[in-house]
Amino acid sequence: MTPSKMIPKTVFSTFGLAYCKRFKHPTISPVSLDYRKSFQVWAPLCYPVVEFKLTDIGEGIKEVTVKQCHIKQHQKVSQFEDICDVESDKATVTITSRFDGFVKKVHFQEGDVIAVGSTLLDIEVDDQPQNADVANVVPESVGKIEANDDKHTELSAIKRQQSTVEDEGVVTEESGASGACEKALATPAVRRIAKEHGIDINDVLGTGKQGRVTKEDVLVYLNQPRLDAGQPQPCELQKAANTSRPITAYRKVMFKTMTESNKIPTLTLSDEMDITHLEALRKTLKSDLQADKVKLTLLAFVVKAISLSLQRFPILNATLEGETINYASYHNIGIAVDTAAGLVVPIIKNVQQLSIRQIAAEAQRLQSLAADGRLSLADTNGGTFTVSNIGSIAGTVVKPLILPPQVAIVGIGRLRHLPRFDHNDEVKKCSVINASWAADHRVVDGATVARFSNAVKRYLENPGLLAIDA
């Protein structure tokens, strides 16, 4: 009698370790540091396996992209230990474990897009799981049966597809020489015509259903000039030219937001602003902030000037929900940041309470987090107005798109040094930028935008007023 038959399975879960010491099981070491690895064959009998799922992380997020994995299969895991970093269309979130246990299986890889509620890990827990997780306990034997069923279903589907193609009288063929091209679909009659003219059916681009090669396709191919033997064939050219990649989380939110933005009837206005005095002041103050490692940029002055002007024109600091205008008492101004993953707009909160120095420091912090992909949901939610500093890259005049539910946005053009007439009609060198405004014309009229632009212009051309009115 083998040792496994001498003790019932239900008894083994309680007396397994003592049993191994008593009978000196040749394949199980009772002195192993991780005894579950030694008793792996009996693990389902002793420890429940829990499906650790991706829970709802809020803000209506339905799916996320795995940015970094911190756990591996066959590894111990503890409560609150980092499992992975996931990136949504709004922020990056770290998922942590709710159990102490042993990772039996990892269901994801870096770069995978996973939906909320999907299983991340199978964890063999140390203790009995709570009631909320009991339903997710999965015996290993059941998992194996389900896996076999999936394979059987997949094979059946392939057979059905093959039989369907045969019933329609369509023949598929691999490229004989290199195998680089896809299978060609064609009826026997079309294939015979191609053979009579010495044409490889795989070289003909099919225009029929599911890429099927028709008689007309063969005739068109006959009238085309032939490629030299050393040149790549049409299917190879097509494969080399076409590539695909999934949209990143940042680009997904940009895709959705810009689609909605394009439906807004937008009023646009652009004006030139002479910031010669402001640039001189900024360069003077710049050295004073270097000790604090704060970079004093033009953006900080623009954001503060906008905040002071919004106090006089609160309609431009509102959000539109259906047919209701919500006037915000705070100025949460978003700054568009270009990152490798796409456009993201972190928010400088309560600008009306911040100094220019504090605005510069906060903008620098948010831009650093955005570049590293570490913005939180709090950093990207609640904006009431947006600034796009596109001029830091290129361009003088731009037509910015509003980020709904906001009603206004500004795009700042490139700083240029141009000759201009002063109040004495004398030509002098000036530092000039263009501010391009866009507003929702359903709730904001052109006169309001023009007056608001003049208010911002007054602050930027007379920087001393920023200190007086702040």
pLDDT by residue for the chain (470 residues), tens only, comes to 444 444 444 444 444 444 444 444 444 444 444 444 444 444 444 578 889 888 877 667 888 888 889 988 889 988 888 889 888 776 788 888 888 889 999 998 888 888 888 999 999 887 554 444 433 444 443 344 344 444 444 444 444 444 444 444 444 444 443 444 456 788 877 888 888 888 888 888 888 777 788 887 888 888 776 655 555 555 555 555 677 777 777 788 888 889 999 999 999 999 999 999 999 999 888 888 877 788 999 999 999 999 999 999 999 999 999 999 999 999 999 999 998 888 899 999 999 999 999 999 999 999 999 998 899 889 999 999 999 999 989 999 999 999 999 999 999 999 999 999 988 899 999 999 999 999 999 999 999 999 999 999 999 999 999 988 87
| Side-chain half-sphere CA neighbours of 317 within 13 A | 22
CB atoms within 10 A of CB 87: 21
CA 250/CA 253 separation, integer angstroms? 6
Nearest to 406 by CA among 304, 327, 313, 337: 327
Contacts by 8-16, CB closer than 8 A, 24 or more apart: 9/42, 9/45, 12/42, 12/45, 12/46, 13/42, 13/45, 13/46, 16/42, 16/46
Rounded Cα gap, residues 170 and 70, in angstroms: 49
DSSP label at residue 31:
T
Sorted by sequence, the CB contacts under 8 Å of residue 412 that are 6+ apart come out as 298, 299, 302, 387, 388, 389, 390, 391, 433, 434, 435, 436
- Can 338 be counted among the known catalytic residues? no
Which residue in the list 25, 70, 277, 441 is annotated as catalytic? Answer: 441
User: Do the bridges between strand 347-348 and strand 385-388 make them parallel or antiparallel, or are there none, so unpaired?
Assistant: unpaired
- Catalytic residue list contains 417: no
CB of 71 within 8 A of CB of 77?
A: yes
Catalytic pick from 34, 127, 288, 445? 445
Contact partners, residue 70, CB within 8 Å, separation at least 6: 81, 82, 83, 84, 85
Alpha-carbon distance of 405 to 410, in angstroms, equals: 15
Rounded to whole angstroms, how far apart are CA atoms 365 and 446? Answer: 35
- Enumerate residues 6+ apart whose C-beta is below 8 A from 247: 255
Strand, helix or coil at 68?
strand
The separation between CA 386 and the C-alpha centre of its own chain, rounded to angstroms, equals 21
- Tokens 């059946």 -> residue: 156
* DSSP-derived secondary structure letter, 28: -
Q: Is residue 286 within a helix (H) or strand (E), and if so which, with residue range?
A: helix 276-289
Q: How far is CA 223 from the centre of its chain?
A: 47
